[in-house]
């Protein structure tokens, strides 16, 4: 691991181990008298969308983060705390698959996918073969998801260019959730 990665994981572990117990969410009311329309349609579906994904694993929990960016520049964040123990590659696959599922639900047809997991990117491009029995079902499902798009491409990014979704995944880990 690089020194920067170690420092980042130490900070995330510290924040996870020392949560703010008396935290209260801000109660901000937004008056709705200026709302003219609420629509479930997503504009800008015609052009190319972008998707950034990342998974995070530490000693206490696992999480995923992703951002879908529409062709007109609107950002849609996805943050999920995984409720099972897994290796980093499984968390990365969960992030990619969950993000693609969201894109399909939003009726996105053209998508550029970016991630810092070389393993996933090169396996999807069929430049690497999956040998881990835990990852084979993920790769198979991911390839099925890809067929739902008219146009899709996968690009490997360095960690330094994927910091925002890495932060989202880390925030997912830090979130305290009640069972109910």
Please give the pLDDT value at position 158: 81
Span 75-132, pLDDT tens digits? 898 888 887 787 778 888 888 999 999 999 999 999 999 988 888 888 888 887 888 8
What CA–CA distance (Å, rounded) separates 143 from 27? 43
Task: Give every CB contact of residue 16 below 8 A, 6+ residues apart in sequence.
Answer: 58, 60, 61, 173, 174
Considering only 88-102, 131-145, 160-174, which range has the smallest mean pLDDT?
Answer: 160-174
> Does position 177 have pLDDT exceeding 60, yes or no?
yes
Judge whether 64 and 173 are in contact, CB under 8 Å.
no
The tokens 């504009």 sit on which residue? 43
Q: Domain map of the chain by residue range?
A: 10-14+45-174
* Residue 126 region by backbone torsions, left for phi larger than 0, else alpha for psi between -120 and 50, else beta: left
Domain 10-14+45-174 falls in which CATH fold? Nucleotidyltransferase; domain 5 (3.30.420)
At residue 44 the predicted structure's pLDDT band, cuts being 50, 70 and 90, is very low
Mean pLDDT confidence for 151-171: 81
Burial of 112 (0-12, 13-18, 19+ CB in 10 A): middle
The token pair that represents 112 in the structure block? 């550029």
């Amino acid at each position: 691991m690089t020194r920067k990665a170690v420092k980042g994981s130490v900070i995330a572990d510290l924040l996870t181990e020392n949560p703010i117990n008396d935290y209260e969410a801000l109660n901000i009311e937004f008056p709705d008298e200026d709302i003219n329309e609420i629509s479930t349609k997503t504009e800008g579906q015609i052009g190319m969308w972008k998707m950034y994904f990342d998974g995070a694993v530490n000693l206490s929990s696992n999480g995923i983060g992703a951002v879908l960016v529409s062709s007109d520049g609107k950002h849609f964040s996805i943050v999920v705390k995984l409720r099972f123990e897994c290796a980093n590659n499984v968390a990365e696959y969960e992030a990619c698959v969950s993000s693609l599922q969201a894109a399909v639900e939003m009726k996105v047809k053209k998508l550029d996918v970016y991630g810092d997991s070389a393993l996933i990117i090169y396996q999807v491009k069929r430049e690497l073969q999956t040998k881990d029995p835990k990852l084979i079902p993920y790769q198979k499902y991911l390839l099925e998801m890809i067929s739902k798009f008219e146009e899709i491409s996968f690009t490997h990014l360095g960690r330094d260019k994927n910091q925002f979704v890495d932060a989202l995944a880390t925030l997912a880990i830090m979130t305290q959730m009640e069972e109910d």
